[in-house]
Amino acid sequence: MRPTQAIEAGFIDPVDDANAVFRQVLDALAHPGRIVEIARPTRVPRGSLGRAAIGVAMALADFETPVWLDEAAAPAASHLRFHCNCPIVSKPDQATFLLAAEPASVPALATLPLGSDTYPDQGATLVIEVQALDPDGSLSLEGPGIDGRARLGVAGLPAGFWEARRALAALFPRGIDLLLTRGDLLVAVPRTSTVRGS
C-alpha cells in the first residue's frame, strides 16, 4: 500500500485570503510590470512552486478550471486538487490555467488555448516560476495600465520566449495572460501589454 502524501493546509481564512490574493492579482494585471508580493497561504506544498504561484492558483482555480502542471510543479497536484477541486489535465492544450515550475518546460505559446474573438476570456493563463524578477531590467512594457513605459527584468525564461509572445499580438483579443512568479513575488504581463527587449 502506497503511503498517502500529506496535504498542507490551504488559506487560513479561505474566503478572505482568496479574495485578498484575487485583488492582488487584479492589481498586478491592471499595472503590468509592477512587482507585487503575495503573502498567502502560510504554507505551500513541497516542490518548486513558490507562495505566489500557489496562492494565485488557489485564488483563481476551481472545479471549472482545467489545470496543467509541468513535471517540476507536479508535486502540487494533490494540494490543488484538494483545495480547489480543479481537474488536473495531462495536455497543455486542454488547460485554461498552466503552472510551470521549470521555465524550460513551458509549452509553445501558440499551442495553448487562445480564446476566440467572441470569447477572448477563454484564453489560457500561464504562470511561470522564474529565477529572478527585477523592477529595473532590460524589458520595456507599454500599454493599458502603464504610464509611459515600465521596466522589468526576468531571469530564466527560455530563448525566444518573448519573440513567441510577440507573435501572438496579431491575434488580439485572442491570446494568453502571463503571470511570472518568484517565491512570494508576482508580476503580470497581460495580452494587452507590448513587450520589447529580451
**pLDDT tens for residues 11-58?**
888 899 999 999 999 999 999 999 999 988 878 887 889 999 999 999
pLDDT at 5: 60
Domain ranges of the chain: 14-196
Q: Is the pLDDT of residue 114 over 90?
A: yes
Q: Determine the average pLDDT of the residues in 89-113.
A: 97
Q: Is the pTM of this model over 0.75?
A: yes
CATH of domain 14-196: 3.40.50.11310
Q: Determine the average pLDDT of the residues in 2-9.
A: 62
Whether the CB-CB separation of 67 and 86 falls below 8 Å is answered with yes
The rounded distance, in Å, linking the Cα atoms of 76 and 191 is: 27
C-alpha cell at 54: 500557489
Q: Is the pLDDT of residue 75 over 60?
A: yes
pLDDT digits (tens, 9 = 90+) for 115-145: 999 999 999 999 999 999 999 999 999 999 9
Whether the CB-CB separation of 48 and 73 falls below 8 Å is answered with yes
Q: Is the pLDDT of residue 178 over 70?
A: yes
Q: Which residue has the cell 507590448?
A: 194
Look up residue 35 and give its DSSP letter.
Answer: -
- Residue 58 exposure: Cα atoms within 13 Å on the Cβ side: 35
Max CA separation in the chain (angstroms): 59
Q: What separation in angstroms does the CA of 41 have from each of 8, 16, 88, 123?
A: 10, 11, 20, 26
